[in-house]
Amino acid sequence: MQDLLSLTFAGEKPVISQGRNQHLSWLWRDEGIIELTPLHPSTNMALVVSCGIHGNETAPIEMVNQIASELIAGDLPLAMRLLIIIGNPAAMRENKRYLQADVNRMFGGRWQQFPDSAEARRALCLEQAIETFYLSGSHEELRWHLDLHTAIRGSWHTRFGVLPQRDKPWPQAFLRWLSAAGLEALVFHRAPGGTYTHFSHHCFQANSCTLELGKALAFGHNDLSQFSDADAALRALICGQEVGADASIPRRYRVLQQITRLSAQFRLHMSKDTLNFTVFPQGTLLAEDGETRYYVQQAREYVLFPNPDVACGLRAGLMLVEDNAHNQALQLESVDERQQAAS
């Protein structure tokens, strides 16, 4: 079969839409969506790997496409059921984040609140793809969803993960894998949202994370060596191998407040080159929208995803605070390691 990316770019259904090799069988489910089933599974997991939910975030698409090609060619074994998704093919072809509206604000049925468009219909298609995939397995399966992105802006933490709202601690095995994937920070949501990972976690209890793996660049301009940790960790997971235990533990942050654009009067008081995780002191005016003002409430808050150009009613930024207990423990461990090395 021609590779997933080429077919999705062409907007064509493959002449051969299913097949098998010595490791697995595969099925073209829909545009940019392939399901792979191991002939001899070694782990009871159902894994969804999505990318291209924003069409201009190309490096994860290239990385996932290479893995998919190796799986279908029989060059890579498969340990669990796997669903691979390129999320927004129409925007990808135009090298745009989206065409009419941000698909990653539409999940959990929120697509019904948007004007009818190909992207709203695509959000429904992606919901149905995950539902069909997870519900076709057994109730005992461990469900994971890794949604791979790159960020519009640069960041003080080059690679980080954003986890959806959850009322109990995340499994340590999941957090260890995120560490092995090279994430330098983890951000924990405290409220529901319209993201693909919130949908898969809330509706299907998947261990879900949005992975921000670098800066968004056009096809042909990515240095995939910068994604080597994530690529190696993903390949190990797919093949049923243990990931390395020597990865650095990410710093942790939690969302304290959301900055929402309410009207055309919205003004974000940050420069266009403000990096993700830039810190602001208490009392700083962050944004204003008519009579509404957003200020830094705690002694130190960190901005994530600042974007004044979103549509009215959508998130224009998140403000974070550190998980002090966790991060202080990391600092103590780092001091201990340096002292042991010095002695």
- pLDDT per residue as tens digits for the range 94-127: 999 999 999 999 999 999 999 999 999 999 999 9
Give CA angle at 239 (210, 47), nearest 5°: 35
> Residue 241: its pLDDT value, please?
92
For 239-281, the pLDDT digits (tens) are: 999 886 667 889 999 999 999 999 999 999 999 999 999 999 9
pTM of the full predicted structure? 0.91
Asked, for residue 245, whether it belongs to a domain, the answer is no
Same domain, 226 and 296: no
Q: What average pLDDT is seen over the chain?
A: 91
Known active-site residue 212 = yes
Same domain, 18 and 158: yes
Tokens of 45: 């997991």
Residues making up the annotated binding site for Zn(2+) are 54, 57, 149
Mean pLDDT of all residues in 220-248: 86
Longest dimension (CA), the chain: 66
Backbone angles phi, psi at 18, to 5 degrees: -160, 160
> Residue 325: its pLDDT value, please?
63
Question: Is pLDDT of 200 > 60?
Answer: yes
List, as one string, the DSSP characters of 176-241.
HHHHHTT-SEEEE--S--SSHHHHHHHHH--EEEEEEEEE---TT---GGGGHHHHHHHHHHHHTP
List, as one string, the DSSP characters of 94-151.
TT-S-SSS-GGG-TTTGGGGSPS-HHHHHHHHHHHHHHHHHHTS-TTPEEEEEEEEEE
The least confident of 180-184, 309-313, 327-331 is 327-331
* Under 8 Å between Cβ of 277 and 183: no
Question: Is pLDDT of 343 > 50?
Answer: no
Distance CA 175, CA 129 (A): 25
Question: Is pLDDT of 180 > 90?
Answer: yes
* Under 8 Å between Cβ of 97 and 62: no
Name the residue with tokens 């095995």: 173
> Residue 246: its pLDDT value, please?
67
> Residue 291: its pLDDT value, please?
94
Confidence of residue 334 (pLDDT cuts 50, 70, 90): very low
Confidence of residue 4 (pLDDT cuts 50, 70, 90): confident
Same domain, 199 and 264: no
Asked, for residue 340, whether it belongs to a domain, the answer is no
Same domain, 183 and 259: no
Residues β-bridged to residue 281 = 300
Structural domain total, the chain: 2
Confidence of residue 160 (pLDDT cuts 50, 70, 90): very high
Asked, for residue 246, whether it belongs to a domain, the answer is no
Asked, for residue 63, whether it belongs to a domain, the answer is yes
Same domain, 274 and 229: no
Give CA angle at 40 (207, 143), nearest 5°: 10
Question: Is pLDDT of 308 > 50?
Answer: yes
Question: Is pLDDT of 337 > 50?
Answer: no
For 8-34, the pLDDT digits (tens) are: 988 888 888 999 999 999 999 999 999
Same domain, 137 and 52: yes
Same domain, 26 and 166: yes
Range of the domain at 94: 4-239
CATH number at residue 278: 2.40.50.630
CATH number at residue 66: 3.40.630.10
DSSP code for 33: E
Catalytic residue among 35, 119, 127, 212: 212
Same domain, 154 and 50: yes
* Strand arrangement of the beta sheet that strand 292-295 belongs to: 267-268, 285-289, 292-295
Question: Is pLDDT of 332 > 60?
Answer: no
Residues making up the annotated binding site are 54, 57, 149
> Residue 22: its pLDDT value, please?
96
Distance CA 203, CA 143 (A): 11
**Helix, strand, or coil (residue 3):** coil
Distances (CA, A) of 310 to 100, 133, 207, 262, 264: 11, 32, 28, 10, 10
Question: Is pLDDT of 336 > 60?
Answer: no
Instruction: List all residues 6 or more positions away from 336 whose beta carbon is below 8 Å from its beta carbon.
Output: none
* Under 8 Å between Cβ of 236 and 265: no
Same domain, 297 and 151: no
Give CA angle at 64 (63, 69), nearest 5°: 105
Asked, for residue 248, whether it belongs to a domain, the answer is no
Mean pLDDT of all residues in 64-92: 96
Same domain, 263 and 235: no
Asked, for residue 12, whether it belongs to a domain, the answer is yes
Distance CA 64, CA 134 (A): 20
Same domain, 232 and 259: no
Same domain, 216 and 161: yes
**Helix, strand, or coil (residue 67):** helix
Question: Is pLDDT of 89 > 70?
Answer: yes
